[in-house]
Structure 1
């Protein structure tokens, strides 16, 4: 069991590093493990200011995870319009939003029972 937790922790740390490398904003981690019938253990949610930045965040995450952990996403969705890109690493799902789309869908509220961690960035 410990090994599983450390793999998830390592994946989360690597994803956060990818987001921070290209200055992704408003990073939140939702821990869904205590909630029944969830599709994964964690959501990581962040935002970019434009299509270009959303794309850069997604590429940075995939590059970091591939390089550090030799892992690639099971599924990526939303790269066509780059307003909301979902990167599915099975136990960890990353949502990269543009601000207005994030506010509209407000998935943090939908998962209000989850333990929430806000990541403070220094940029």
Structure 2
């Protein structure tokens, strides 16, 4: 079973919000068939700890503003290295670029389908 349409809509909102704060390497993966407990991962990078925290703040604000959701769990905020926002059906990973390279989540989940992101994302993303 693929990611639900509501999950994909949340991924799009979060990706656009991250893009507004110049997040880099924005990718969304459909992990529904592999995990069963969540539909999608959104993985984005920032170049500094303050940028990572700014990306997280923007994602939380836009998701709440547009669909009224708050994360059920948030881990790593304040450190600005790897922040996880758990929205239940979607988990957002905002990582410092160095940590992103080290942990390589995209390689770990390479067999999962990529979710197409909105065309409005900056061309330098991804």
TM-score band by shorter chain is 0.7 to 0.9
Residue of structure 2 aligned with 1:50, choices 48, 51, 54 = 48
Mark the runs of 5 or more structure 2 residues left unpaired by the alignment.
none
- Partners of 1:105 and 1:76 in 2: CA distance: 19
Pair 1:7-2:17 in alignment:
no
Superposed CA deviations along residues 53-78 of structure 1, whole A, max 9, x for unmatched, are 10110000000011110110001100
What SS does the aligned partner of 2:79 have? coil
Structure 1 length normalisation: TM-score? Answer: 0.87
Report deviation, 1:13: 1.4
Count of residues in Structure 1 that have an aligned counterpart in Structure 2: 119
**What is aligned with 1:34?**
33
**1:27/1:118 contact within 8 Å kept:** no
Q: Which runs of 4+ in 1 moved over 6 A?
A: none
Q: What is the correspondence of 1:1-123 to structure 2 with a 5 Å cutoff?
A: 5-35=4-34, 37-117=35-115, 121-123=122-124
- Partners of 1:99 and 1:109 in 2: CA distance: 15
Bigger share in strand: 1
- Partners of 1:13 and 1:116 in 2: CA distance: 13
